[in-house]
Structure 1
Amino acid sequence: MSLTSEELNYLIYRYLQETGHEVSSLALQEETRVLEFEKKFKERIPLGCLVSLVQKGILYTESELLVRYDGKVMPVDPENYKKNFTLAQALQVDKEQFPEISNTGRFALENDSEAEEEKLKEGKDEENSQIIDGTHKAGNSDEDEGFIKALESIFSYGSSNACEWSGSYFAWSEKTPTNSAKIVRLKSNKEFSVPTVLTYPTVGKSTDTASNNTSNNLAGEITAISWSRSGDRLLTGVESGEIRLWTLDGKLSNIFNMHKAPIITMKWSDTGMHCITMDVDNVTIVWNTLTGSPVQHFDLKEVINNFGESLGIDCEWIEKDKFVIPGLNGAILLFQINNSNEPIGRLLGHSKTITCLSYNESNKLLLSSSDDNTIRIWRGHNSNASHCLMGHSQGVVNASWMKNNDKIISCSLDGSVRCWTILKDGAGDIAAKDGGANNYANNNNAMFACSLIDDIPIVYGCISPDKSMYCVGRLDGQVIVYNLELLKKNMEELENIVSKKTTNDAITVPLEIPIKAEYSVPISKPNNYVCAISWCETNDLLSVSYAENQSYVFRL
């Protein structure tokens, strides 16, 4: 069962109407989408539905205490339930069973004595990990000190749509009247070179007298940036669809001019001979970067007129001469570089826009995520997904392979970050010994860690080059860096606990993903969301581009 915030708003709206609070219900009607639900569910929602659901929630919370870890039902004390079978008691039970959701640490209210006592209690736990009522509770501290660092800014630039590191060189787009991109080189710990400016020409408006139509010949804002794998060339794509190839010293090398809509993604091949570009009209082109000529052209722009949405916003290279791009109805199409525009394979499973594609060279698996709330894993020569990871309640923004290649981390518009285990032959990472049942991950949707701070959507996610950290950017501009090394340590502690158990005791997951550092915009403008995040190869520098505010390079 799942309940969205909008559905809850509608239940509150119905409750206010039923109890005669007309002014309050009118205010809720003005600020939410309850009228849309009124049309759909008016005849289906019974009177007192909200109160009934809350009562069932209390019953469920209390019933959890009646079942032990071994499945046996504990004796019931009727007199006790007559006194304590209330909402306040249910909240207290839930708080004791899952203490990580209480207001502690950076979420605690000032002078909150209860929160301070909880903090002191946690500080006495030297290992920052314990077993409480069969539940493994991992701490959310960094370096075992309980502190979340504030990201330190060492370089700033204007509002930007795209940014990317390549070695010690950093490039970004800047929203200025000249629609320029800039390149700087990191010279020392905090010192950058003078920026090299890549400027697009500014052309005025022209009018077609025959049709009396006015067209804007301005290139528009730079929407995408991509370094070659060797780091000696840079591609920039703009709103008009024009793509320019630049050398490292800022000289224009070539112009690719077949797209007619804003560029959303560009991917270089390993050899640097080819690149794939995609625009918002579902047009995908494979270019020969040495000659500037198109090798293959896939035009599905009619689809956006029929369905009103993009087929996908990512593409990926598979080996040196193969690549995958989004297709119709959530399909992923596999092509080979040649003169044919017919796919050599189709991966069927997703039903909505493809948001992320990532190929793992080590295990030869393709990872994909979609607006259909799922993540899928694909094996070679098989058109069906080998794993389907379900748990996010809204579209998945990013999914990345973790360090050991059998785990995945993802973030979503539902505001959550989740870690998953890919099982091998039906066995989890913590294998049962001697026929025991000490396996907490025994299905193909094994989520072993999660972080949900609040319901603010995450719009960008990026894993560090050494895969020790994962950074997400939210719709409100907040940036959060998760510590995957500490998560791995907590996982190893849990494995040790499980390996020593001799009974069929259940271990409850997921663990909490530890936060390493964060940054919140002091004064945020409307729509000041995170547009792009990029890690330096040294893993200690992080660039974040904002839509409206100043953008920054942070040092961890």
Structure 2
Amino acid sequence: MSFSSDEVNFLVYRYLQESGFQHSAYTFGIESHISQSNINGALVPPAALLSILQKGLQYTEAEISIGGDGTEQRMVESLSLIDAVMPDVVASRQNQQNQQKQQVKTEVQDTNGEEEIIILSVVTSNVGVGVAMNERVGDREGMEVDEQQQQGSSTGGSASAVEIPASKATVLRGHESEVFICAWNPTTDLLASGSGDSTARIWDMSDNSQAPSQLVLRHCIQKGGTEVPSNKDVTSLDWNCDGTLLATGSYDGYARIWTTNGTLASTLGQHKGPIFALKWNKRGNFILSAGVDKTTIIWDAASGQCTQQFSFHSAPALDVDWQTNTSFASCSTDQCIHVCKLNVDKPVKSFQGHTNEVNAIKWDPQGHLLASCSDDMTLKIWSMKQDTCVHDLQAHCKEIYTIKWSPTGPGTHNPNMNLILASASFDSTVRLWDVERGACIHTLTKHTEPVYSVAFSPDGKFLASGSFDKCVHIWSTQSGQLVHSYKGTGGIFEVCWNSRGDKVGASASDGSVFVLDLRKL
């Protein structure tokens, strides 16, 4: 049995996709010419690369446990992947085990000249084993420290007291692949979700609905004069302000506009390659999109035509956010942020300072401050009044995936609450920031895997967070305490609140979407 380089490349590409490394998967796919290989991806099972590696380890273990003469030797303790590719390490470990085995039984003469067999457990607990034991004790102590940190003085509350039982959640099944995004309609309890199965779905979660119904929005492309499924991920979706239209962006390079009854109203085709993000402006007359083709586009929502295309980034554009109805910011893997305006040929402002790709950007509710987060592990706050950042917030120890502003502060519906910024990181924590002071107010540490999504309740009093540990946590923004917790069946990509603030929706890597009705708790 042997692998071709094409097959190995395809397994790595599929692993990156399944792990949620969408940008890396796309880049690797382009460079390794995945699209030109003749591999039928439908025949490759999920987690194929990990499965093959695991079987390889088991084979290597079995091989080592059989002596050169074919007799079975003592099995070495379970191999790690690194061990398996370092035969010298494996050999030395096996020699050490053989020496220990010989030392276990030692014959000595007692004072009467009689033979005694003494099990020298002290001898076998030699320096090497002692060190291993010390390391394990150290690991355990580290785990205990971690557990204490997980409890966190700022998190408070008993996990069992806040846990939401499975019976209290409504699980929505229908998607056939991971569900990357979900968003509530701003006026009714319709929940939209977008998936790797090349569909978006609209779920009716209103109280007068006997059982949640679903509309399936199939993303198709023209091929040979007929419509066929695009077989590409739906990467982004956003409702317009009055909830009458849903826009979706896809890896097939098209943005689409749908009505609430699932009818395709427009197809927007100008990007060359996957769309990573799209947003309606507040007035609802323009849609903004960002793509792998390094451009951002403002679309006329009524006609579906490209109004203006901006080509200022030197690498894929990852996120966009409107500042006003006609101006916006965009960020990219090129580490730059540009602020652009309709009918203006060049950026009206550019911000530089990040040292790795910028994953997300968000304007505060007033459009005065722009927050950005990056793989460089920093969170930065920018103002149109200056070129350098207002705050450079360095507290996370891994990549920061996304950020959200609270819907509070001067000029909002909640003027008496301070403006807060939330950041979600691959270091498994969420941080809440007082942006005026540039200080971290709370570190929320209950998650145990990367946190992909955070969302404030409409009144700003609560924050929902979703992680790949399969948990959705709901926190008090005032105290930082954990209020509710629910464990789903897949890693959480997105969390969102309905307009009344009494339901939380979440989408997961196993194809499930679920809704937590907080009125029932």
* 1:164 equivalent in alignment to 2:183: yes
Query: Which residue of structure 1 lines up, in the alignment, with residue 342 of structure 2?
Result: 337
> Among 443, 450, 470, which residue is 1:457 paired with?
450
Give the stretch that moved more between structures: 314-323 or 475-484.
Answer: 475-484
Structure 1 CA distance, aligned partners of 2:205 and 2:192? 14
Structure 2 CA distance, aligned partners of 1:449 and 1:199? 42
* 1:417 equivalent in alignment to 2:430: yes
How far is the alpha carbon of 1:233 from its aligned partner?
A: 1.2
Structure 1 CA distance, aligned partners of 2:263 and 2:209? 26
Query: Which residue of structure 2 lines up, in the alignment, with residue 468 of structure 1?
Result: 461
- The 1:201–1:370 alpha-carbon spacing in structure 2 relative to 1, beyond 3 Å, is closer
* Partners of 1:379 and 1:385 within 8 A in 2: yes
* 1:389 equivalent in alignment to 2:393: yes
* 1:183 equivalent in alignment to 2:202: yes
Structure 2 CA distance, aligned partners of 1:459 and 1:246? 26
Query: Which residue of structure 2 lines up, in the alignment, with residue 198 of structure 1?
Result: 217
How far is the alpha carbon of 1:392 from its aligned partner?
A: 0.5
Query: Which residue of structure 1 lines up, in the alignment, with residue 253 of structure 2?
Result: 241
* Partners of 2:233 and 2:251 within 8 A in 1: yes
Structure 2 CA distance, aligned partners of 1:192 and 1:366? 41
Summarize deviations over 1:469-497 as a string: whole Å, max 9, x none.
2222222422222222xxx2x4xxxxxxx
Structure 2 CA distance, aligned partners of 1:421 and 1:536? 25
Give the stretch that moved more between structures: 317-326 or 459-468.
Answer: 459-468
* Partners of 1:169 and 1:183 within 8 A in 2: no
Query: Which residue of structure 1 lines up, in the alignment, with residue 29 of structure 2?
Result: none
TM-score for the superposition, normalised by structure 1: 0.60
* 1:262 equivalent in alignment to 2:263: no
> Among 64, 68, 82, which residue is 1:29 paired with?
82
* 1:551 equivalent in alignment to 2:508: no
Query: Which residue type is aligned with residue 418 of structure 1?
Result: R
Structure 1 CA distance, aligned partners of 2:370 and 2:150? 39
* Partners of 1:158 and 1:174 within 8 A in 2: no
Give the stretch that moved more between structures: 197-206 or 267-276.
Answer: 197-206
Summarize deviations over 1:249-281 as a string: whole Å, max 9, x none.
333322211123222211111111111111234
How far is the alpha carbon of 1:317 from its aligned partner?
A: 0.9
Structure 1 CA distance, aligned partners of 2:403 and 2:475? 14
Structure 1 CA distance, aligned partners of 2:203 and 2:79? 54
Structure 2 CA distance, aligned partners of 1:480 and 1:205? 48
- The 1:461–1:385 alpha-carbon spacing in structure 2 relative to 1, beyond 3 Å, is same
SS of the residue 1:162 aligns to:
strand
SS of the residue 1:539 aligns to:
coil
- The 1:205–1:464 alpha-carbon spacing in structure 2 relative to 1, beyond 3 Å, is farther
How far is the alpha carbon of 1:363 from its aligned partner?
A: 7.5
Query: Which residue of structure 2 lines up, in the alignment, with residue 275 of structure 1?
Result: 287
- Listed as ranges, the matches of 1:475-490 within 5 Å are 475-484=468-477, 488=478, 490=479
- The 1:165–1:138 alpha-carbon spacing in structure 2 relative to 1, beyond 3 Å, is closer
* Partners of 1:219 and 1:238 within 8 A in 2: no
Query: Which residue type is aligned with residue 80 of structure 2?
Result: A
SS of the residue 2:80 aligns to:
helix
Query: Which residue of structure 2 lines up, in the alignment, with residue 358 of structure 1?
Result: 362
* 1:284 equivalent in alignment to 2:304: no
What is the total number of aligned residue pairs between the two structures?
Answer: 389
Structure 2 CA distance, aligned partners of 1:454 and 1:171? 25
Query: Which residue of structure 2 lines up, in the alignment, with residue 153 of structure 1?
Result: 169
Query: Which residue type is aligned with residue 414 of structure 1?
Result: D
- Listed as ranges, the matches of 1:457-536 within 5 Å are 457-484=450-477, 488=478, 490=479, 513-521=480-488, 524=489, 528-536=490-498
Query: Which residue type is aligned with residue 331 of structure 1?
Result: C
Summarize deviations over 1:93-121 as a string: whole Å, max 9, x none.
x98xx8971898xxxxxxxxxxxxxxxxx
* Partners of 1:461 and 1:533 within 8 A in 2: yes
Structure 1 CA distance, aligned partners of 2:184 and 2:240? 11
* Partners of 1:311 and 1:354 within 8 A in 2: no
* 1:325 equivalent in alignment to 2:318: no
Structure 2 CA distance, aligned partners of 1:195 and 1:332? 38
Query: Which residue type is aligned with residue 158 of structure 1?
Result: G
- The 1:385–1:99 alpha-carbon spacing in structure 2 relative to 1, beyond 3 Å, is closer
Query: Which residue type is aligned with residue 27 of structure 1?
Result: S
Structure 1 CA distance, aligned partners of 2:397 and 2:149? 23
Structure 2 CA distance, aligned partners of 1:392 and 1:199? 39
* 1:315 equivalent in alignment to 2:320: yes
Runs of at least 5 residues in structure 2 that lack an aligned partner in the other structure: 1-74, 89-127, 409-416
- Identity value in percent: 22
Query: Which residue of structure 2 lines up, in the alignment, with residue 73 of structure 1?
Result: none
SS of the residue 1:195 aligns to:
strand
How far is the alpha carbon of 1:549 from its aligned partner?
A: 3.6
How far is the alpha carbon of 1:554 from its aligned partner?
A: 1.9
* 1:229 equivalent in alignment to 2:241: yes
Query: Which residue type is aligned with residue 149 of structure 1?
Result: I
SS of the residue 2:201 aligns to:
strand
Structure 2 CA distance, aligned partners of 1:165 and 1:454? 24
SS of the residue 1:29 aligns to:
helix
SS of the residue 2:308 aligns to:
strand
Structure 2 CA distance, aligned partners of 1:316 and 1:292? 19
* Partners of 1:480 and 1:517 within 8 A in 2: yes
- The 1:468–1:202 alpha-carbon spacing in structure 2 relative to 1, beyond 3 Å, is same
TM-score for the superposition, normalised by structure 2: 0.64
- The 1:31–1:256 alpha-carbon spacing in structure 2 relative to 1, beyond 3 Å, is farther
Structure 1 CA distance, aligned partners of 2:385 and 2:317? 23
What is the RMSD computed on CA atoms of the aligned residues?
A: 4.1
* 1:372 equivalent in alignment to 2:372: no
How far is the alpha carbon of 1:407 from its aligned partner?
A: 3.0
